[in-house]
Chain A
Amino acid sequence: MYSSKVADHIANPRNVGELDDPSGVGDVVNEVCQDRIRLSIRIEGGTLAAARVRASGCPPTLAAASVLTELIIGCPVSEVQNLGRSDITNALGRLPAAKTHCAVLAIDALRNALESSGCAHPHFAGS
């Protein structure tokens, strides 16, 4: 049902926890299924220097939260700002069609974290 990459992130979630001194925090809940992702990020000199994540819910939500941290740590904020749902699903190999909302939730967490750090996601800047 799930790809080996999803399975790997379930068995070995990456960067779990919360930063002590974050630049921003995104805490989002899917109001329908109550899946939740809480992402804290630290930005240093235009780079996303550190990220920690906590998540609860179904397997793809946990995997999306975990893989998100791998995609963003060490990257320029300008790149991170352009990440979208397909980047999450591609990084996980694939997600069942009924589970793509989990990737959306991860991107929402990133967007909120960037906004709270003062680095708005370009898709939502000015909205």
Chain B
Amino acid sequence: MLVYLDNSATTSTAPDVVAAMLPYFSEQMGNAQSVHSFGQRAKAALEKARRQVATLIGAAPTEIVFVSGGTEADNLAIRGIAEASGQRRGHIITTEIEHPAVLATARALEEQGVAVTYLPVSRGGLVDVAQVGRAIREDTDLVSIMHANNETGTIQPIEEIGKLLGEAHAAGHTRIYFHTDAVQSVGKLPVNIHSLGVDMLSMSAHKIHGPKGIGALYVRKGVRLGKILFGGHHERDRRPGTENIPAIVGFGTACELAGASLEARMSRIADLRDYLERELNDRIPGVRANGDPLARLPNISNLSFEGVDGESLLIALDLKGVAVSTGSACSSGSLEPSHVLTALGLSREQVRGSLRFSFSQYTTREEIDYVVQVIVEIVDRLREMAPDDDAAGVRNASAQS
């Protein structure tokens, strides 16, 4: 049996999405900037997709900028604000657990003179709203905090942070732009830019059964972004380059599908996730769930298996046809532990023994039963193989359970 539980890395493209895309590779191959009928049909498809994407997050179509994916969306938001001021000054507030697309962009700006505060998170991975308030400086011009974490699924209090920033503005602070990377939450939670109170929001198609290589940045009307790419006047002069119409059409279709019966689909996925966690907890001693137990996405379970190396578990699972991911990687004898799990305060061993299971609408109960069965076997084998001092505790516990 092949079981794909790495849907936070990427998802399969939905058959309806593929079907919607196909004509735009061949007979509908026009350039949306062309004035002839081929171009105008491409333009119509582009604008339909823009409406579909905007609808999913409660935005106006003119506020959607198509980009190559989540990474470019994050870059455009963060660098775009810095470029708009034309100066390398100012102050950004972000967190220690952001996606590398945000962290690396912030660090690059830091090297150019922008000040950056990286907020810590709680043991559950939550940002403290009051701490965001305390981090605001006179020159703070951007806050970038992810909506839901890609490793743990922990959902940040974005609405409260949005309110806090609004209050700061009302109290006389110059406007602080608020960006959120919602790549993991869009299509998993109801996401509405008005209730979140954000000025910019990053999205990616391939996390919601759309194609790879396409995403969008929502930019609230009135937000001035500088350029990070130079070329033509596409996307209301915000993102040059011929529009990738097949991918954009696929993204629009994926957004429409994601919005349909969202809560029912996610409730079923959350049930499967809870079932997996319950079964593993009942059958394997030394399993710990990482992240906040309540404020979390329905489709991610991050677990640490005591006394087991995550990569060994991952490879052994892969040999049984099960695809997951781990927060630990060993390279040249040095561990490169997940910056997210490390920020949560997990011990080195807990990070090392971590696995992320991420579900999709296609995941079935039979698949979870199979995964539980093989994990029980593999963890038992790996613990049996470990030297006594490393595994005696969990082996003994296993014998008693």
Question: What is the interface of chain A, defined by CB distance below 8 A to chain B?
Answer: 2, 7, 10-11, 13, 16, 18, 27, 30, 32-38, 54-59, 62, 98-99, 101
CB of B86 within 8 A of chain A?
A: no
Having A35-B309, A54-B386, one finds 13 other A-B pairs with CB under 8 Å, namely A7-B319, A16-B385, A32-B333, A33-B334, A34-B352, A36-B387, A54-B388, A55-B385, A55-B386, A56-B387, A57-B312, A58-B330, A62-B382
Partner of B386, one of A30, A56, A59: A56
Q: Which residues of A contact B369 (CB under 8 A)?
A: none
Asked if B385 and A57 sit within 8 Å, CB to CB, the answer is no
Q: How far is the CB of A62 from chain B (nearest CB, A)?
A: 6
Asked if B330 and A57 sit within 8 Å, CB to CB, the answer is yes
Asked if B319 and A11 sit within 8 Å, CB to CB, the answer is yes
Q: Which residues of A contact B391 (CB under 8 A)?
A: 56
Q: Which residue of B lies closest to A8 (CB)?
A: B319
Asked if B385 and A33 sit within 8 Å, CB to CB, the answer is no
Q: How far is the CB of A89 from chain B (nearest CB, A)?
A: 15
Interface size class of B (residues with CB under 8 A): 20 to 34
Provide the bound-state CA to CA distance between A36 and B385, in Å.
11
Asked if A56 and B334 sit within 8 Å, CB to CB, the answer is no
CB of B47 within 8 A of chain A?
A: no
The digit string for B342-356, where 1 denotes a CB below 8 A from any CB of A, is: 000000100010000
Asked if A101 and B385 sit within 8 Å, CB to CB, the answer is no
Q: With A38-B387, A57-B330 as known contacts, state yes or no: A13 contacts B381, CB within 8 Å.
A: yes
Q: How far is the CB of A41 from chain B (nearest CB, A)?
A: 15
Asked if A56 and B316 sit within 8 Å, CB to CB, the answer is no
Q: With A56-B390, A57-B309 as known contacts, state yes or no: A7 contacts B333, CB within 8 Å.
A: no
Asked if B388 and A56 sit within 8 Å, CB to CB, the answer is no
Enumerate 7 A-B pairs (CB-CB under 8 Å) in ascending A order: A10-B315, A11-B316, A11-B319, A34-B335, A56-B391, A57-B330, A62-B312
Q: Which residues of B contact A57 (CB under 8 A)?
A: 309, 312, 330
Q: Which residue of A lies closest to B311 (CB)?
A: A58
Q: How far is the CB of B390 from chain A (nearest CB, A)?
A: 5
Interface of chain B residues 285 through 329 with chain A (CB within 8 A): 307, 309, 311-312, 315-316, 319
Provide the bound-state CA to CA distance between A36 and B384, in Å.
14
Asked if B332 and A7 sit within 8 Å, CB to CB, the answer is no
Asked if A10 and B316 sit within 8 Å, CB to CB, the answer is yes
CB of B331 within 8 A of chain A?
A: yes
Provide the bound-state CA to CA distance between A2 and B318, in Å.
11
Asked if B332 and A98 sit within 8 Å, CB to CB, the answer is yes
Provide the bound-state CA to CA distance between A37 and B348, in Å.
19
Q: How far is the CB of A12 from chain B (nearest CB, A)?
A: 9
Q: Which residue of A lies closest to B320 (CB)?
A: A11
Asked if B390 and A62 sit within 8 Å, CB to CB, the answer is no
Q: With A10-B319, A33-B334, A98-B332 as known contacts, state yes or no: A54 contacts B312, CB within 8 Å.
A: no
Asked if A10 and B384 sit within 8 Å, CB to CB, the answer is no
Q: Which residues of A contact B352 (CB under 8 A)?
A: 34
Provide the bound-state CA to CA distance between A19 and B384, in Å.
15
Asked if B387 and A13 sit within 8 Å, CB to CB, the answer is no
Q: How far is the CB of A60 from chain B (nearest CB, A)?
A: 9
